Structure 1
Amino acid sequence: MKIPFSYSWKSLLARKATSALTAAGMALVVYVFATVLMLSEGLKQTLVATGSDDNVVLIRQGAETEVQSTIEREQAAIIESAPEIAYAPNGTKFASKEVMVLMTLPKRGSDKPSNVTIRGLSEKGLELRPQVRLLEGRMFRPGSSEIVAGRKIAENFKGAGIGETLRFGLRDWAVVGVTDAGNTAFSSEIWGDAEQLMQAFRRTAYSAVVAKLADVSLLERFKVRIESDPRMKVEAKRETDFYAEQSEMLANFLKILGMTLSVIFSLGAIIGAVITMYGAVASRTREIGTLRALGFRRVGILSAFLFESLLLGLIGGLVGVALASTMQFLTVSTLNWQTFSELAFTFTLTPAIAFQSLAFSLFMGLVGGLLPAFRAARMDLIEALRAV
């Protein structure tokens, strides 16, 4: 005979306090596990969503970021003339010659300084980023000392709000607009006219060229043309791949850190489950003997106690995932290890993360209940019935 599953559920309800404490311990571990995965996923999605599949980024060979790269004006002109680059309706090429610099700005409310990315771009650069929309004010005028700030920069840094003034590059820059690029890295940048920024920072070369291909299938042909040209010494990458590579180092670090903490905390949760289940076995010795006397087999008793432990893990997992889901309403800032500038992003909960978290919780329940379940199944019938 098989023991009905309702027996395990009713056994948990009979020990509400110990069951709740064990499930709570597992929930906290799952909460840490899920939030770290959400942090890593949020970072990845923020950077990957920044790019477009039909855009290509060109930087100097050996450079990992736009900040480290230099592309001479002659090289930029050669890139712009490539036949694979799409034409705009007015007959010009869809290519933006851009410059990127880092500036230290004080934060609102604390005066704590942090690096901010300032990107100089052309009119075509705005058209190549359709995901960026104007939230307040207007776009900067070409040839002027005007800038627009990403929403997260305007909210968090002094002087970056609309109507305010920032001073860098030995001149004052008027903030005439605030842009919103959703959960992408562009929301953490300041934009201005490329030529004006190059003059202000005494630059003679661009940092990168961003271009739109006439067709996404032309990428390999374009790469061969550009990278084999001895005059160039540049490399071309699909924009989504370029930003995905920038997220890899920090995302992997967060995952390793999170897994380490989760393993350490899970040991405590497993020990708690073991103690709880051993206590359940000890307090139900005569009950186990009665089940054996009624004809229930050892494997049925083993399954009942294992299912009881798995129920504890499932409850803890569901509570932990529910708690972790509330983190999606928070926005956090961290240092982009590739560009050393501040990057704001949100926790992101995906079905895969929820599944992994529940699986981890069930694993803790299984390991925690295994030894007590074996003890219950191997208990001698006569000794169990004689227990007081």
Structure 2
Amino acid sequence: MKLLFFYSFRNILTRRLTTFLTTGGMALVVFVFAAIVMLADGLQKTLVDTGAADNIVIIRRSAVSEVQSAIERNKAAIVETDPGIALGPNGQRLLAKELLVLITLQKRASRNPANVVIRGGTPQSLQLRDQITLTAGRLPHPGALEIMVGRNVAERFDQAGLGESLFFAQRRWRVVGIFDAGNTGFSSEIWGDVNQLMQAFRRDVYSSIIFRLRQAGGFDAVSERILSDPRLTLDVKRERDFYREQSEMMSKFLRLLGFYLTLIFSIGAVVGAMITMYAAVANRTQEIGTLRALGFQRGTILTAFLLESLLLGLLGGLGGLFFSSFLQFFTVSTTNFQTFSELAFRFNLTAATALKALAFALFMGFAGGILPAIQAARKNIVEALH
């Protein structure tokens, strides 16, 4: 087997131009495949990491997102009395009644409008989100027309920088702080005081209620009390599960798109590999005859040519992964299908994605090399030497 490997590797080095062209085509396909999967994984990771494992989200029953949800004040007051809610250092319940609204802002680069999420919260909202860090300015004062914006919003939208002001809901709001929530959905939001935002948007209902469990294993008991209360028509979910559901539709769409794009490109790559291997068989007919005359079996010849094609696929896969790994340094944005707001996130390359890309590259090498390898193995010794 070692001899076959070196024989195949030597032939690849001998035909540098055709090797470069063939592996380049495969690398392009692997790059597209990896980029789409990284895009879907990045979106899913951004939304899933937005939620905390011990936080609970309550929205209106049958609502699929906070934008569609509406919780009346009396129902929120009932939920607030649940004994399963944790207490903060000051003795207050770690619970936040929040409002989620969409506004339209203009992007700095393209000048195109896009929807942005505004979240009205309370001081407890920050205590419940450990991933949020204030990077510039200060927190908005309760009762004031002040807001703080996520890092992605400050970078991408007009008038969203520190010290600037945004006009919406017939009022002008001053940006007093910029926060960073890492690679989570919160970095694409604007935060302000819930009472001021409810007055400005003329809303008398909350969008969601967020609270932390008193005990890590208390979810089932809390969920049972809220779901069985006839006064409430609310749904209870773990925050991480809630945001995972938010990402499913978009992730499936991206993966299906990637599958069909990769399928189209891979046909061309397989044909290119097949042409390369057929040419190799045609140019090495006498060499094949010599190997057969020296006692090498048909199976050995088939394995040698198939191994050569697999090496081409492996080189193409490694090249595609190398270039796709640089996508992790870029931030892209898309529309969240659940909230119809802009969400910025990064490509995410995982070990599973790398293994899938390499396996796909080897499959292309196998598909492109199996028929030429069979043709080489079937050659007659006398005719090949002649």
Normalised by the shorter chain, which TM-score bucket? over 0.9
List per-residue Cα deviations over 1:15-72 (Å, max 9, x = no partner).
1111110000000000000000000000000000000000000000010011100111
Is 1:34 paired with 2:34?
A: yes
- Alignment partners' CA distance in 1, 2:62 and 2:279: 62
- Alignment partners' CA distance in 2, 1:46 and 1:129: 14
Q: Secondary structure at the match of 1:9?
A: helix
Is 1:358 paired with 2:376?
A: no
1:1-388 alignment to 2 at 5 Å? Answer: 3-386=3-386
- Alignment partners' CA distance in 1, 2:110 and 2:210: 36
Return the letter of the residue paired with 1:236: V
Q: Secondary structure at the match of 1:4?
A: helix
Return the letter of the residue paired with 2:81: S
* CA distance 1:2–1:346, shift in 2 (3 Å): closer
What is the Cα deviation at residue 4 of structure 1? 2.9
- Kept in 2, the 8 Å contact 1:3–1:304? The answer is no
Q: Secondary structure at the match of 1:337?
A: coil
Q: Secondary structure at the match of 1:96?
A: strand
- Alignment partners' CA distance in 1, 2:221 and 2:177: 39
Tell me the TM-score normalised to structure 1 length. Answer: 0.98
Q: Secondary structure at the match of 1:49?
A: helix
List per-residue Cα deviations over 1:312-342 (Å, max 9, x = no partner).
0000000000010011111001000000000
- Alignment partners' CA distance in 1, 2:159 and 2:79: 36
- Kept in 2, the 8 Å contact 1:71–1:205? The answer is yes
- Kept in 2, the 8 Å contact 1:3–1:300? The answer is no
Q: Secondary structure at the match of 2:338?
A: coil
Return the letter of the residue paired with 1:57: V
What is the Cα deviation at residue 2 of structure 1? 8.3
- Alignment partners' CA distance in 1, 2:80 and 2:211: 8
- Kept in 2, the 8 Å contact 1:3–1:296? The answer is no
Q: Secondary structure at the match of 2:217?
A: helix
Return the letter of the residue paired with 2:98: E
- Alignment partners' CA distance in 2, 1:125 and 1:78: 19
* CA distance 1:2–1:140, shift in 2 (3 Å): closer
Return the letter of the residue paired with 2:172: D
Q: Secondary structure at the match of 1:191?
A: strand
Q: How many residues align?
A: 386
What is the Cα deviation at residue 217 of structure 1? 1.1
* CA distance 1:85–1:24, shift in 2 (3 Å): same
What is the Cα deviation at residue 109 of structure 1? 3.5
Q: Secondary structure at the match of 1:237?
A: strand
- Kept in 2, the 8 Å contact 1:116–1:188? The answer is yes
Tell me the TM-score normalised to structure 2 length. Answer: 0.99
Return the letter of the residue paired with 2:344: A
Task: Name the Cα RMSD after superposition.
Answer: 1.0
- Alignment partners' CA distance in 1, 2:77 and 2:109: 44
- Alignment partners' CA distance in 2, 1:322 and 1:115: 35
What is the Cα deviation at residue 158 of structure 1? 0.9
What is the Cα deviation at residue 216 of structure 1? 2.4
Q: Secondary structure at the match of 1:217?
A: coil
Return the letter of the residue paired with 1:180: D
Q: Secondary structure at the match of 1:343?
A: strand
- Alignment partners' CA distance in 1, 2:88 and 2:311: 60
What is the Cα deviation at residue 3 of structure 1? 4.8
Range that drifts further, 110-119 or 189-198 = 110-119
Return the letter of the residue paired with 1:148: M
Q: Secondary structure at the match of 2:205?
A: coil
- Alignment partners' CA distance in 2, 1:3 and 1:177: 66
Return the letter of the residue paired with 2:266: S
- Alignment partners' CA distance in 2, 1:262 and 1:89: 53
Q: Which runs of 5+ in 1 are unaligned?
A: none
- Alignment partners' CA distance in 2, 1:235 and 1:2: 62
- Alignment partners' CA distance in 2, 1:349 and 1:109: 27
- Alignment partners' CA distance in 2, 1:215 and 1:19: 61
| Identity across matched positions, percent | 57
List per-residue Cα deviations over 1:237-291 (Å, max 9, x = no partner).
0000000000000000000000101011100000001100000000000000000
* CA distance 1:251–1:2, shift in 2 (3 Å): closer
